[in-house]
Amino acid sequence: MVGMSAIDAVLFDFSGTLFRLDGDESWFDGILVDDREVDEHVRAELMHRMTAPTGQHVAMTPDAHHAWVNRDLAPHLHREAYLHVLRSSGLADEHAEILYGLMVDPLRWTPYPDTADVLRGLKDQGIRTAVVSNIAFDVRPAFEAAGIAGHVDEFVLSFEVGVVKPDAAIFTTALTRLGVPAGRALMVGDSDEADGGARAIGCGFALVDPLPTVERPDGLRTALARFGVTV
C-alpha cells in the first residue's frame, strides 16, 4: 500500500482528469435533437454521454453493445459505438457525425487549470508520469498543443496496448515502462470503477471530480496532496 511521501510515479487518466471535453455552445448551432433545438440541459446530457467513463446510456442491439463494450480497443468500434449513442439520443446522422468529429479531435479538449503546473512540477521532482487512458484516438496532440507533452514520460492508451481499465494489465504495462513498482505509484482518475482498478495491483488511488474545467482549478494538486506530494 502506498504511504505518504512514498510516490515515485503518478499515473493519470485523461478524460475528466487531466483534460475535459467542455464543448462550446457553437458546437450545437443548427443541431437538433428529436427535431428540436438543443437547450443547456440537453447539451449537458449529450456531453455526458460522449465522455462518461462507464455506464450505458441508450438501448443497444447485440452488435451495438459489442461495439460499446470494446469501443476503446479499436477506432472503428469507437466510431460505431458513439454514433449509435448520438443517433439513439435523437440526432440526425449528419449531426451525429459533426459531434463525433469534435469529440475525437484532441485539440478540442481543454486542460484543467492545474494540469500543466502539476505535470511540470512532478517532472522537476523526478517523479515519473504516465497517461493511462481508455480511449481509441491519439491524445498526444492535446499535450503538444498545451506545451506539456515533454512532461509526460509514457502514454499508455487502450487502443494501442489492447487492454482497458480496470484490467490490471494496463496499469502493469504503465509501471513496467516507468520502471516503478506498484507500491510506490499513485493512480489519479475520475472513475472509481475504471481507474480504481489500479488498487488491485497495490497502487494508491486518488479520485477527482470531472467537473467543467473552470469549476476545478486545483483538483489535481488536492488529490496529490492527500498522498504527500506537493507541486
Q: Is the pLDDT of residue 1 over 50?
A: no
What is the reported pLDDT for 39?
A: 86
Secondary structure (DSSP) of 162-231: T--TTSHHHHHHHHHHHT--GGGEEEEES-TTTGGGGGGGT-EEEE-----GGG-SSHHHHHHHTTT---
CA atoms within 13 A on the CB side of 49: 25
Domain chopping of the chain, boundaries: 9-20+109-226, 25-108
Mean pLDDT (whole number) for 179-195: 97
Give mean pLDDT, residues 26-37: 87
For the domain 9-20+109-226, what is the CATH code? 3.40.50.1000
Question: 127-166, pLDDT tens digit by residue?
Answer: 999 999 999 999 999 999 999 999 999 999 999 999 999 9
The percentage of residues in the chain with a pLDDT greater than 70, rounded to a whole number, is 98
Whole-angstrom distance, CA of residue 42 vs CA of residue 229 = 39
Q: Over range 164-184, report the average pLDDT.
A: 98
**Cα–Cα separations (whole angstroms), residue 86 to 16, 99, 102, 211:** 20, 8, 13, 22
- pLDDT at position 91: 93
Compute CA 209 distance to the chain's CA centroid, rounded to the nearest angstrom. Answer: 12
Query: pLDDT averaged over the chain?
Result: 94
pLDDT digit string (tens) for 12-25?
Answer: 999 999 999 998 88
Q: What is the pTM of this model?
A: 0.92
